[in-house]
Chains A and B, each alone.
Chain A
Amino acid sequence: MPPMLQFLLSRLVKAVLVLGVVVILNFLLIHAAPGDPATVMAGEAGAADQAFVDQLRTQFGLDQPLYVQLGTYVGHIVQGDLGFSFRQQRPVADLLLERLPATVVLTLSAFVLALVGGVALGLLAALNVGKWADSAITVVALLSYATPIYWVGLMLVLVFSVNLGWLPAFGYETIGAGYSGVEKLADIGSHMFLPVVTLGLFYMAVYTRMMRASALEVASMDFVKTARAKGQTEWNIVTRHVLRNAILPILTVAGIQAGQLIGGSILVESVFAWPGLGRLTFDAVLQRDYQVLLGVFFVTSVLVIAFNILTDLLYVLIDPRVEITT
């Protein structure tokens, strides 16, 4: 599919441009910060010694002019080197790679949950427009849409972990339990349940509302009426015509909202002690770990762009017009 290849290429070129600007912007922004990492590190080492502070400053290039530091940083990024976190004494790329899977798993699961749940509920509401199912779904969606994500997390913990004791409240897995295979998966799954629901719920509400509106709009269109006149079964009409067409605007919005989804994971990860990028970001902000912050920004931007391309691909796959040409 050359047109699609072309499309992907143009997206990639755009992505690189956006990323370049993001890197420069972030770099300048973060360097506007008050607070000198060397002073704090010296303090934490229990030392109050100018020689030590100077030594740290030289060691991490903090004594160089800003543009030199920026040049070095961009140069390194091009080589895939995201710098060195002096606070954690580890390469930033390592730190990020360590945390990346947890965030990707969390956001992707939440996204899938939100998409599938939202589409199903929205469709259900549209098919039963005006009936009690429609009203119920609409009200629940409205409520979920208005609830702070972190508070949902806390309340779920309160009910399902503290009161009922059904699900673990925190963490990624039971540490040192020594599970393997299916048991390990089940363990991670039980830890994932609440964070995924928490993060997914808000977006599920967004998609439900959109899907309902979109399905109603499509259902009134001519080709659906034609299909019905042809005597196709209702199931066929819903799945083949209404669903496919109604889902397209949702994918567009999902792509745009990718950044918000990843941002939301900061909150969810700090509620559930989920060891992902979001938590890393927050810790890095509090510790003023410049290199890690720069890295997190870069990687989340990459994630957002990847997410956009993913939703575009889904769009192409689902768009019925593509089917017609093949």
Chain B
Amino acid sequence: MTRDFLLAFARNKGAVIGLAIVAVIILMAVFADVLYPQDPWDMVGLPFAPPMTDGMLMGSDMLGRDIAAGIVHGARVSLLIGLTSTLAAVFIGVLIGAIAGYYGGWLGDLLMRFTELFQTIPNFVLVVVIVAIFTPSLTSIVTAIALVSWAPLARLVRGEVLSLRSREFVQAAVTCGQSNGTIIVKQILPNCLSPIIVSASLMVATAILLESSLSFLGLGDPNAMSWGFMVGSARTVLRQAWWMSFFPGVAILVTVLGLNLIGEGLNDAFNPRLRRKRTA
């Protein structure tokens, strides 16, 4: 199984490229302090220096901060927010989805209504409002992103649990007298792990996009150098200095692309027969 899975994944060219991209981004984040030891907020050069001048690979911004340093350090913020908010969202989504699917009835109905509510409210508007109200910080941003991301996963998990709970092995566990909690955690969830993993990898990508959009609007954490902030702050000088918004944008694009490719590769590898049929 594992070997087949790895082979299937490795045969998918896109997935391998995605994995390589994400590996590079992770390395960048880990070794940011080695690559660019100085604080990315430091004004190290002349303002408005174009790429490849004044010793700066990607030029400087309007205060003379090195864009390349910002990109390397920004990888940390993107990955941190992408991963933590996804973890939180997966936790909420799986919890609600599993309870709704396993117990069904009025509780399941109620939970699904609640989930629907969160799908109805315009996601991004909600994120903007939450972050604005509780003032931008890493915590408020992660919380807001997690709050709007869990609903689709909850529906997915509910569907899976619903179909699994009537299967023999679950019924067998019930007859054995295992508690509901144990059945959910030990019997059911391991069997719907693959769709959860696929969703999660795509959710990381979405979370990174969301964070960058917030920072673009000026709702990022003011102490953390992030890609969206770089694009947003450079937006007004677009006409004078294209490089300030170009490079950070490319960084976001490449990272999100890499994560999407991995997600698809995983999906195909988990469901060899469904290849081509299902997409995210």
Contacts and interface: CB of A to CB of B under 8 A. Distances in A.
Interface of A: 18, 21-22, 25-26, 29-30, 32-34, 142-143, 145-151, 154-155, 157-158, 162, 209-210, 212-213, 216-217, 256, 259-260, 262-264, 266-267, 270-271, 281-282, 285-286, 293, 296-297, 300-301, 304-305
Given A34-B135, A147-B253, A148-B249, A154 B122 contact: no
Contacts of A297: 121, 125, 129
Contacts of B128: 266, 281-282, 285
Given A142-B260, A158-B238, A22 B123 contact: no
30 contacts: A18-B120, A26-B129, A29-B130, A30-B129, A30-B133, A32-B134, A33-B133, A143-B257, A146-B205, A148-B216, A148-B253, A150-B231, A154-B249, A157-B238, A209-B279, A216-B277, A260-B122, A263-B122, A263-B125, A267-B216, A267-B217, A281-B125, A281-B128, A285-B128, A285-B129, A296-B125, A301-B120, A301-B121, A301-B122, A305-B120
Contact of B249 (A151, A213, A264, A271): A151
A22 B246 contact: no
A267 B212 CA distance: 11
B122 A262 contact: yes
Interface in B239-257: 239, 242, 245-246, 249, 252-254, 256-257
B119 interface: yes
Nearest to B228: A148
A270 B135 CA distance: 20
B132 interface: yes
B261 interface: yes
A302 to B, nearest CB: 10
Contacts of B213: 148-150, 267
A186 to B, nearest CB: 25
A286 B14 CA distance: 42
Contact of A263 (B123, B216, B231): B123
B242 A29 contact: no
B276 A263 contact: no
Contacts of B256: 146-148
A313 B256 CA distance: 34
B226 to A, nearest CB: 12
A209 B132 CA distance: 34
Given A147-B252, A285-B128, 4 more contacts: A148-B252, A213-B276, A266-B128, A293-B129
A21 B115 CA distance: 12
A155 B244 CA distance: 12
B216 A150 contact: yes
Nearest to B231: A151
Contact of A151 (B129, B252, B257, B280): B252
A210 B195 CA distance: 17
Contacts of A210: 279
A151 B242 CA distance: 12
Contact of A213 (B123, B212, B279): B279
B185 interface: no
Nearest to B261: A142
A29 B133 contact: yes
Contacts, number: 132
B117 A18 contact: yes
Interface in B265-280: 276-280
Contact of B132 (A145, A285, A296, A300): A285
Interface in B105-148: 116-117, 119-130, 132-135
B124 A260 contact: yes
Contacts of B165: none
Q: Would you call the interface of chain A mostly helix, strand, loop, or mixed?
A: helix
Given A33-B133, A148-B213, A149-B213, A263 B124 contact: yes
Which of B121, B134, B217: most chain A CB closer than 10 A? B121
Contact of A304 (B122, B217, B239, B257): B122
B211 to A, nearest CB: 10
3 closest Cβ contacts across the A-B interface? A263-B124, A151-B249, A146-B257
Which of B120, B228, B260: most chain A CB closer than 10 A? B120
B277 A259 contact: no
Contacts of A282: 128, 217
A267 B124 contact: yes
Interface string B141-177: 0000000000000000000000000000000000000
Contacts of B92: none
A282 to B, nearest CB: 6
A259 B253 contact: no
B209 interface: yes
Given A146-B205, A146-B253, A281-B128, A259 B217 contact: no
Contacts of A267: 124, 213, 216-217
Contact of A146 (B116, B238, B260, B278): B260
Nearest to B206: A260
Contacts of A216: 276-277
Contacts of B121: 22, 259, 297, 300-301, 304
Contacts of A147: 249, 252-253, 256
A305 B239 CA distance: 39
A147 B209 CA distance: 8
A34 to B, nearest CB: 7
A312 to B, nearest CB: 14
